[in-house]
């Protein structure tokens, strides 16, 4: 699962810490998502989509059979 979070966040000109505060998660969670250490929960994916005014599919790119859960 890839995502465009770092790019989108930088386009908005905000820090990881600010985005984290808005979404009510930790800065480390944002950093971990941007760097692909894990996938977001579906609830966090919805929050991110709402914040960036995009669909989940426009932010997260699901790659078939990159056999992750």
Q: Is 7 in the site for DNA (CB under 7 A)?
A: no
Residue 2 forms beta bridges with which residues? Answer: 61
Query: Which of these ranges, 4-12, 14-22, 40-48, lies near its own copies under the rule CB under 8 A?
Result: 40-48
* Contact of 23 with 51, CB cutoff 8 Å: yes
Q: Could you give phi then psi for residue 2, rounded to 5 degrees?
A: -100, 165
Q: Any contact of residue 22 with its own copies (CB under 8 A)? A: no
Any contact of residue 49 with DNA (CB under 7 A)? no
**Cα–Cα distance, 59 to 52 (Å, whole number):** 9
Kindly list the residues in this chain that would bind DNA in the complex (CB under 7 A). Answer: 6, 15-17, 24-29, 31-35, 37-41, 43-44, 69
């Amino acid at each position: 699962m890839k995502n465009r979070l770092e790019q989108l966040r930088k386009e908005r000109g905000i820090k990881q810490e600010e985005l984290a505060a808005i979404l009510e998660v930790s800065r480390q969670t944002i950093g971990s998502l941007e760097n692909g250490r894990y996938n977001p929960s579906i609830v966090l994916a919805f929050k991110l989509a709402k914040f960036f005014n995009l669909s989940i599919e426009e932010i997260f790119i699901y790659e078939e059979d990159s056999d992750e859960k």
